[in-house]
Structures are given as structure tokens and as C-alpha cells.
Amino acid sequence: MNVEQTAASIKDMTIRGAGKIARAGASALSDFAAGYKGNDRETFLGDLEKAKGILLESRPTAVSLWNGVHATVRGVEDMRDVGEMTALIQSNAETFIENSNNAIRFIGEIGAKRVKDGDVIMTHCNSSVALEVIKTAFRQGKDIKVYATESRPWRQGILTVTDLAKEGVDTTLIIDSAVRSVMKKVNEVFVGADTITSHGALINKIGTSQLALAANESRAQFYVCSETYKFSPMTLFGDRVTIEERDISEVVREGEVPSSVKVFNPVFDSTPPKYIDAIITELGMMSPGSVYDVMVKQLGDRIFQKVI
Ligand code: RI2
């Protein structure tokens, strides 16, 4: 898929999930580089900038896309000619995608250790990383039960329960408003992440913060399963995370409510760090309070470069 097609598929959610959109962005830039015909360095850099812009405009909240795109173009400006630049982009993209896939596996192995035989788990929306934790625990022979939320309006919960059922996991679908009532039975909550801020707040699918509050109330553990490329460098410098709002047609059919009624359709919400027991990353389990240190270490000298 070319850059425009990839951006359109991310926007209309044919490609969705914070990790998947990051890998799709990297892959689109790799294809753009592989198929590039010209040999003027400045023209290439201008065209690359446009391609990055098209991808980054597709969805505003998940920093994974931003980090995937920037990891793919890292070092390009230091290259002498277009041949070197396109080769670097392809190799960066390959490395990013490989690391991203490995991270999911590591997180699965680390997170599964938090699951005990007989545990009841809740998850929200459709996170490939949270699902990897649950499936790894199940493959280890642990007897588990999973409650998965429907996740209106896109109902990604249907993907989640289908995936878990294929694996053979004892899975129950619940409507979003059943979260607090069901939480009484739950030992652990595993959710994914779209973005994690420098002070450890989680930005994830709308409704995630309700699971966190209900888990806190009933003393269930609340775990965030997140690769470190979902940590947002921009938040280090004070930027707020833009919460995507999608079309109201996702919530109501035309004419279903009086025209004077306003409909609000935010896609993500923010869970404060105090409700998060741990963030499970490819670097290990960490507290939300450790995110700042990890980000600064990972950025290294690049912290002095423009990341905003
Ligand atoms: P993985 C999804 O966003 C959900 O919010 C999910 O928790 C998050 O991405 C992380 O997904 P959307 O694309 O990277 O459905 O863990 O809006 O697959």
C-alpha cells in the first residue's frame, strides 16, 4: 500500500490498534523509499516530509504512529545521497517492525507471570498486547476466565472475544456499562495503550478509566500492556495529548435523535497514574512514575533535538 492508501486505511480504521498503525506507517514509508525514482537529495527530503505529514494526520492520539514514523526516518538527513537515504529508511522500518513484534512477545511472557491459576481477568477494546499476555498465560496451562467489554461504538470487543474463543479461553462478552458490576469477580485487568505521558497517565480506548476506577474500588490489579514506543516524547515538553473525536454517525443513525441534541464521540480517555498498578513493557514491569526516566534514557542526546 502506498502512503495515501495507508493513511486512508488508518483513518477509516481498516488498519487499527496502536501498534498496528505504527507498523503500517513504517511499512508505507519503506515502500515509498523503495519505489522512489528521483535522485535529487533536497527534492527527496521534501517529498519525504509530505509523506510523513500524510501519515501523521491520519489519526491524532496514538503516539505509536508518530514514534514509528520518526524511527523510520531517523538519520536520513545525515546521508549523502538519495540511494543511501532510501536504503536507511527501508532498514529502519524493518528494524522498527521486528522490534515491535518482539516487544509484544516479551510483554506477553512478562505479563503472563502476573496471572495465577484460576484467575478472572477483564480486558477492554482490542489490544494485541493485552491479548498476548492473556493468551500466553492460557498457553502455560493456567485455568483462566476472561470478561471482555463490547467497546462501543466500534465494538472491538467482538474481535477480542473471537480471538480468545479461537484459542479456547473461557470468554464472556459484557456491555460497557456492566464493568463495575462484573469487576467484583475480577483479579486482574489487562489493557493496552495508545499513548503514555511522561508523568505516567494512560491514554487508551474510551472507557478504560472506568475499568481502572472500578478495579481500584474492588482491589483488582490494573495492568497496562505497552511497548515503550507508546511513551510520548512530546508530553515531556508539556504538550497535551489530543483526544480524537470521531463522527457522530458512529453513535446514532440519522434522524434517530432530535436535531437539537448534540452527540459527543470521544475515542480515548485518560487514566491517572494513581490507578495503574504497573506498566508491562518490553523492558520489564515498571511503575507509572518510572516513565519519565525511561523516556529520557531512550531519547539520549535526541532529547536536545526538536521532538515537538
Ligand atoms: P495494541 C486501540 O485503539 C485500543 O485503544 C487499544 O487498547 C490500543 O489501540 C492498543 O492496541 P483503536 O485503534 O497496540 O481501536 O495493543 O482506536 O494492539
85 Cα: distance to centroid of ligand 1 (angstroms): 31
**pLDDT score recorded for residue 1:** 83
pLDDT above 90 coverage of the chain, percent: 96
> Coil, strand, or helix at residue 204?
strand
Residue among 166, 158, 128, 162 nearest 21 (CA):
128
DSSP annotation of 146: E
The catalytic position among 31, 119, 194, 277 is: 194
- Banded pLDDT at 307 (limits 50, 70, 90): low
Domains in the chain, number: 2
Q: Between 306 and 219, name the one with better pLDDT.
A: 219
**Are residue 141 and residue 90 in the same domain, yes or no?**
no
- Banded pLDDT at 308 (limits 50, 70, 90): very low
Q: Is the CB of 226 under 6 A from ligand 1?
A: no
* Measured distance CA(64)–CA(28) in Å, rounded: 15
**Are residue 114 and residue 96 in the same domain, yes or no?**
no
* Measured distance CA(70)–CA(101) in Å, rounded: 17
For residue 54, give the C-alpha cell.
500524510
- Residue 196's Cβ-side half-sphere holds a number of Cα atoms within 13 Å equal to 29
Last residue of a domain, one of 69, 102, 135: 102
**pLDDT of 273 higher than 90:** yes
Q: Which H or E element spans position 51?
A: helix 41-56
CB 228 within 8 A of CB 222: no
CB 71 within 8 A of CB 26: yes
* Per-residue b or e along 127-145, where b marks 16 or more CB atoms closer than 10 Å to that residue's CB: bbbbbbbbbbbbeeeeebb
Mean of per-residue pLDDT scores for the chain: 96
Last residue of a domain, one of 87, 102, 117: 102
**Are residue 24 and residue 94 in the same domain, yes or no?**
yes
**Are residue 153 and residue 59 in the same domain, yes or no?**
no
CATH number for the domain harbouring residue 233: 3.40.50.10470
CATH number for the domain harbouring residue 95: 1.20.120.420
225 catalytic? Reply is no
- Banded pLDDT at 305 (limits 50, 70, 90): low
pLDDT above 70 coverage of the chain, percent: 98
130 Cα: distance to centroid of ligand 1 (angstroms): 10
Last residue of a domain, one of 102, 125, 153: 102
**Are residue 110 and residue 228 in the same domain, yes or no?**
yes
Q: What is the pLDDT of residues 232-254, one digit of tens each?
A: 999 999 999 999 999 999 999 99
Phi, psi of 188 (to 5 degrees): -140, 145
Structural domain containing residue 172: 106-307
**pLDDT of 139 higher than 80:** yes
